[in-house]
Chain A
Amino acid sequence: MRLLRMVGVGSLMHLKMASRSPFEIATGLIVPIVQATMAVYLLRASEQPQNMIKAAVGAGLMGIWSQVLFGSGGAIQRQRWMGTLEMMIISPRPPALTVLPITIATGLQGTYTMAATLVWGWVLYGIVPSFAHPGLFLVAVVVCIVGLGMFGLLLASTFILMRNANAVCNTLEYPIWLLSGMLVPITVLPGWTEPVASILPTTWGARAVHEAATGGAVWPSVGWCLLISLMCFGFGALSMSYVERRARAAATLALA
């Protein structure tokens, strides 16, 4: 209960901070428009009405993904710059739990991006969001955020160790978009990518969201996403504790 409260308050504060950053505000305004536009032209959503929602949802998921990647990676880097990383690590909590609010907050920011993409798709291109299973859609989105947040945690551990982690984050962004089939259906990709894709929680999260939007069995995907997320959390927590110790040995918690 107390840990939940901590994660809750922490996420709220990190969200509050993001909502006050001029950079984040600008990104939050522009990115959804760009994504809605890209989706419409790349997937010719206007010709095939079925693709419209798929495109908007795919673009929205991309938004969540890049938020988590830049969010959890960038946030760790920012904490280092601000000198607050040390203040977080010095708390008597497991390091995974002090970092989790950051990845959850960015997951939530991503939800906003998805909603905004849908709205812009509607306003600019007349793509009316209509969902096969509206209720399940919400469930799937929440599950997807959990998946992204947990995967983000796993990634964030690398950022604590490395002071130049931004490079890693940039190289990961596009492959994982493609692999998890957020925009392009996985079947378009070469066969070898399939096993890789199927161990990413985001693949199942994205599939659940797609299914909820356009029809299909949603629950199995939701189940897989949650299961893999749980594993990500487990590994993330272990890796975070290991990495925290390494960072204390290598002196990478602070800037100098």
Chain B
Amino acid sequence: MSELAIEAVGLRRTYRSRTGWLRPKIRQTEAVKGVSFTVAKGELFGLLGPNGAGKTTTIKMLNTLLIPSAGTARIFGHDVVENTTEVRRRIGYVFGGDRGLYDRLSALDNLRYFAELYAVPAREQKARIGELLELVNLAGRERERVEGYSRGMRQRLHIARGLLHRPQVLFLDEPSIGVDPVAARDLRRTVADLAATGTTVLLTTHYMAEADELCDRIAVIAQGELKALGTPDELKHYADGRRVVEVEAYGIDDDVYGRIRRIAGVKETTLEAQGAVQLLTVQSASDVDVQGEVLAALDGVRLGRVAARRPTLEDAYVSIVSDDSPELVVAT
């Protein structure tokens, strides 16, 4: 067996938050409810799940920012709670969004500051920073203040900062959130290159396609629990034996949607607004044809294209994260 970069065993995390001033109540949120997995050295591992699934919480337990309520985790054999410094030497952390950088400083100053903090030897700093600016395509603009940067540029600077000390394990928490499609594609290429040169990457995302394109293995997490774990191909089997009807419509309301969900034989439904048009997908077992009943339920609603198709990874994902999905199946 190859060397393990990340080992998570039964990780749990409960948040306590206080609400109300006069009669304070303690509210407990079970964000992660016993998650276990391992990531091999050099692997690109994806943690995929909808918003609020517990992805960020899991990542922060692994990168020492949160102490687990229960369970243990090790990075190259170092316990994240007991050997914090050893773990921190080996990891980089990058998260998506606007925050996490010093806006009033230039990119160069940001990198110089964090190079000191992350213990990059003084005589290597200059070369390393230059190399990273080149890698993330910011060379030439490093003296501008970060406040003038676009989302995509900030994200690239974030990545450069995360790589300063040549971490063996890189944690990427929704790195492509809010960046445009072209920037997101560049980002995926950078991540793939890193993994190809031996860096272990743990990436969280709620975009199925991103996980599918990048990851060697994917763990699907929903409501704080691991729902499935396997290669993208293995996960696609979750939708085996399903049939999907896709309908473009204008004006499906809760009533109509409810009626469709109650049709016998319907397994999953999703309704997505794409501008003015709504995209309805209905999954059913492959031996029942629900198309007629669906169209009957949509009586009176203006419709666009109607099509039946074979299930995709996206459909598999929908069926995994929904409540009535089968028990955890681990394919290793």
Contacts and interface: CB of A to CB of B under 8 A. Distances in A.
A6 B119 CA distance: 8
Given A2-B122, A21-B104, A87-B93, A10 B116 contact: yes
Contacts of A9: 112-113, 116
Contact of A17 (B91, B95, B97, B104): B104
Contact of B66 (A13, A17, A92, A248): A248
Contacts of A2: 119, 121-122
A91 B262 CA distance: 53
Interface residues of B, number: 33
B105 A16 contact: yes
Contact of B105 (A6, A17, A90, A91): A17
A16 B109 contact: yes
A13 B85 contact: no
Interface in A86-140: 86-93, 98
B66 A91 contact: no
Interface string B112-129: 111011110110000000
Contact of B67 (A5, A20, A249): A249
Contacts of B113: 9-10, 13
A91 B119 CA distance: 8
A90 B113 CA distance: 14
Contacts of B101: 82, 84
A83 B93 CA distance: 12
Interface in B69-126: 85, 88-89, 91, 93, 95, 97, 99-105, 109, 112-114, 116-119, 121-122
Contacts, number: 82
Task: Give the interface residue-count category, chain A.
Answer: 20 to 34
B102 A6 contact: no
B104 A248 contact: no
Interface string B44-58: 000000000000000
B329 interface: no
A249 to B, nearest CB: 5
9 shortest interchain CB distances as A-B pairs: A83-B99, A83-B100, A92-B88, A91-B117, A6-B116, A20-B104, A13-B113, A92-B89, A249-B67
13 contacts: A10-B116, A13-B109, A13-B112, A20-B145, A21-B104, A83-B95, A87-B114, A87-B161, A91-B114, A92-B88, A93-B119, A248-B66, A250-B16
Interface of A: 2, 5-6, 9-10, 13, 16-17, 20-21, 81-84, 86-93, 98, 245, 248-251, 253-254
Interface of B: 15-16, 63-67, 85, 88-89, 91, 93, 95, 97, 99-105, 109, 112-114, 116-119, 121-122, 145, 161
Given A83-B99, A92-B118, 13 more contacts: A2-B121, A9-B112, A10-B117, A16-B104, A16-B105, A16-B109, A82-B102, A83-B97, A88-B117, A91-B117, A92-B85, A248-B64, A248-B65
